[in-house]
Structure 1
C-alpha cells in the first residue's frame, strides 16, 4: 500500500451525533491508486464517498488515518489536485476565458497576462469551446458550463483529478459526449483520476478499477473490481465485450443486495477479509488456470 502513488491508510470520519456521542460515516478504509489510474467509487448515498474525495482534496481531514500522495501526507488543498464538482462553480461575472485564466494565474503567479491567456485558451480549445471565450456563464448551456469547469481543472496541469459526479446533472447525450472527452483527455495526459459516480455503466466505461463501498454509517470498502475491458474500449462497442455484462451484473448485485448484507457476510464461518487489503475481483475475466497437461 505504501508504495502506491496515492495511499489511503486506515482513514475514518466521525461527526458529533445529535443525541450525543459520535456517528461514524466510514471506518478503517485502505486502498491505493497507481499513477495514471482512473478509479471510480460506487456506493449508496450516505456511505461517505464525497467525504473521501474532500479528504483527498485537502478540504476535510480524517478523524483517524492518513492519505499519502507521492510519499507525502496531505496537508490542506493544493493546486496539484484539481476538483470538478457536480456543480460547475463558475464565477458568473467572469467570461469563459476569465474563469479559466483565474485558475491559471493562481498556479503561475509570475506569468504575464498574455501568457496566462494563451495557456487558458489552449485549455478551452481542448474541451471544444474555442470561440466561446468571451461568453459569460449565463450564456452557456449546462454542458458548456461543465466543459469550462473541466478546462479550468486541466489548465493548472494537476497531478490528480478529483471528480464528484461531474456529469449527473446533464442530459444523456451531453453526458456521453463529455465522458468521451474526459476519458480521451485523461488517457492522453496520463492523468490520475478519482471519481464518484452512481452510474454503473459510466464507471465501467471510464474506470480501470471500481471501488465498491458498503452502506453507511460505518461504511467499509467491500472489494475493488478490476475492469477487464480493454483500455482502448469504445463507447459504441463496450457493451459487446463478453466481460461487460458479468462486470455490470456483479456491481448491480452488490448495490442491490451485498452492500446491505455485507456485515452478515463477514460473520460467515470461515470468511476471511483483510481491511488493509480489500479483495480484487475481475468478473468476466478468462480463467487464468492453465488446462491440465495431457498424459502422454
Structure 2
C-alpha cells in the first residue's frame, strides 16, 4: 500500500466573485500537488497564476472554494505554529526589537520556557541570519534586507513542521541572499525540514528544491509539470553549474516559462493531476541543452 504524502493538496480551487453580473474569476481549479516528509518543493510560474494563493491556503490563511489540504494526516482548517510563513515583506511588530520579534514567536511555541531560555534560543537564530549586534534595534532602525532577515529568523526559530516561503530572499542584496539560501539549505538538510517555497528565480529553485512545480499561466492555472531535480542531494553553490544535468534542467524550466506555460488553460486538453514527475535523463539532457537557446550558459 502506498504511503500517504506528508503534504497533499487535493483538487483545490480558488475563485473570486465578479463585479455585478460578471462571471467569477477562477485563479486555479482542480489543483493537485504533494511532498514527502523532508522534501523541499519550489513553485515557479508567471504572475497571476495563483502561487501565493496556494501558499496561503497551505498556511491556513485562506480557504479553498473546493478541495482539501492535508498535512501530516490532518486537514488544514486554519493557521498553526506547525506551519511557519516567511513573507515577501518583513511583517514585523514595529514596537518590538529584533530579539523581541523573534522571542515573541519562540514564547508562542514554547510558553513553558523561562525568559532566559527563550532569549537564548532566539539569539541563536538572530546570529544565524547575521544580525548579532542589532538585537535591540527596532524595525524602523533597520534596512529592508535586515528586516527580512528578522522575519527569516523568526520563522526558523519555532522549528515548524513545514517552512513556507513566499520569495523570502527577493528584497536582499546578492551576497546576503546567497548566504541565507546556503543557511536555509543547510538547516533543511540537517533537520529534515519540509519546505515549500515560491520563487521567480530558476537558479534558486534548482539549488534549493527536490521538486519544482511548474504552474501554467492564470487564470485557470494548473500544475503543468512536476520536475524532479536531477542534481545530487548534497550540492554546493560553487560547483552547481558544473554538474552535467544543470543546464538541461535549467533550460527545460526556462523553455516552459517562455514557450509552454501559456497553453494549458486555453487548450482545453485533459490534465491528469496524478501525472508522473518529469525526469530529465542524462542522454536527453545533453540534446536539450544543445537545442535550446543558451540562456545564461557559460561560454
In structure 2, list runs of 5 or more residues that go unmatched: 285-299
Give the structure 1 partner of residue 16 of structure 2. Answer: 15
Q: Does 1:199 align with 2:201?
A: yes
Q: How many angstroms apart in 1 are the aligned matches of 2:215 and 2:160?
A: 26
If the length of structure 1 is used for normalisation, what is the TM-score? 0.90
For the residue of structure 1 that corresponds to 2:16, the secondary structure is strand
1:254 corresponds, among 246, 253, 256, to 256
- Listed as ranges, the gaps of 5+ residues in structure 1 are 288-296
Q: Contact conserved, 2:15 with 2:65, CA < 8 A, in 1?
A: yes
Equivalent residue, structure 2, for 1:280: 277
Distance 1:204 1:224, change over 3 A: same
C-alpha RMSD over aligned residues: 1.8
SS in 2 for 1:280: coil
| 1:66 matches 2:68 | yes
TM alignment of 1:1-296, pairs within 5 A: 3-18=4-19, 19-263=21-265, 267=269, 273-275=271-273, 277-285=274-282
Count the aligned residue pairs: 282
Summarize deviations over 1:98-141 as a string: whole Å, max 9, x none: 01011111122232222221221122223233332222223333
Give the stretch that moved more between structures: 249-258 or 13-22: 13-22
Aligned partners of 2:162 and 2:268: how far apart in 1?
Answer: 33
Task: Check whether the contact 1:41–1:213 (CA below 8 A) recurs between aligned residues.
Answer: yes
TM-score for the superposition, normalised by structure 2: 0.89
Q: In the TM superposition, what whole-angstrom CA distance separates every residue of 1:239-285 from its partner, at most 9, and x where no partner exists?
A: 11111111011001100111012346664xxxx7422x133112254
Compared with structure 1, are the counterparts of its residues 284 and 242 closer, same or farther at alpha carbon in structure 2 (3 Å cutoff)? farther
Partner residue in 1 for 2:292: none
Is contact 2:45–2:51 with CA below 8 Å preserved after alignment?
yes
Secondary structure of 2:197's aligned partner: strand
